[in-house]
């Protein structure tokens, strides 16, 4: 399979209209200060294969670790899932339904940017994970638009 450095798009030699995207980062779906598992250390060998309609310019494939975006439903994002992030959507997204990836001082984190009791917070889908209230140093990377489920197969998020 084609391998590329982070953020580089590779045309696939396997099928016309197929896009190959390297997994370019680990997103914590847990606490932003939680350590990232060493198990996921070498992501440069992991790529996703997308059809042209599933690919977006500026898209990044990122690996999820942690359970804060797992609410127990079929559509949940679980540890080990690969999500597709549209990095062209970097404006403020306040929605209890739109998962956003943020760069924090400790790495990336996936959360819902919403308002709780009149305060801006980053919330989780998992009700057992408390919201993040202090977002100092956080920067929006992009919006999660799909979950990769296999070669040329994605699920909308």
pLDDT digits 0-9 by tens, 102-128: 998 888 999 999 888 999 899 999 999
* pLDDT value at residue 16: 62
* pLDDT value at residue 122: 93
DSSP-derived letter for residue 13 is: S
Judge contact between 59 and 49, C-beta under 8 A.
Answer: no
Give percent of the chain with pLDDT exceeding 70.
78
The predicted model scores a pTM of 0.81
Quick check: 20 pLDDT over 80?
A: yes
Mean pLDDT of 40-46: 61
Contacts of 73 (CB under 8 A, 6+ apart): none
Dihedral Cα 123, 128, 133, 139, nearest 10 deg: -50
Q: Which two tokens stand for residue 157?
A: 């998020």
pLDDT band at 41; cut points 50, 70, 90: low
């Amino acid at each position: 399979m084609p391998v590329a450095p982070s953020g580089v798009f590779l045309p696939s030699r396997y099928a016309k209209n197929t896009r190959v995207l390297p997994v370019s980062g680990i997103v914590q779906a847990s606490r932003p200060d939680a350590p990232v598992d060493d198990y996921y250390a070498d992501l440069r060998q992991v790529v996703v294969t997308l059809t042209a309609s599933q690919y977006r310019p500026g898209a990044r494939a990122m690996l999820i670790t942690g359970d804060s975006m797992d609410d127990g439903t079929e559509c949940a994002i679980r540890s080990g899932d690969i999500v597709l992030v549209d990095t062209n959507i970097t404006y403020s997204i306040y929605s209890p339904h739109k998962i956003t990836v943020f760069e924090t001082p400790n790495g990336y984190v996936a959360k819902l940017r919403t308002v709780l009791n009149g305060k801006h917070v980053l919330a989780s889908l998992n009700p057992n994970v408390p919201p993040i209230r202090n977002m100092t140093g956080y920067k929006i990377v992009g919006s999660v638009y799909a979950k990769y489920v296999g070669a040329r197969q994605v699920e909308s998020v």
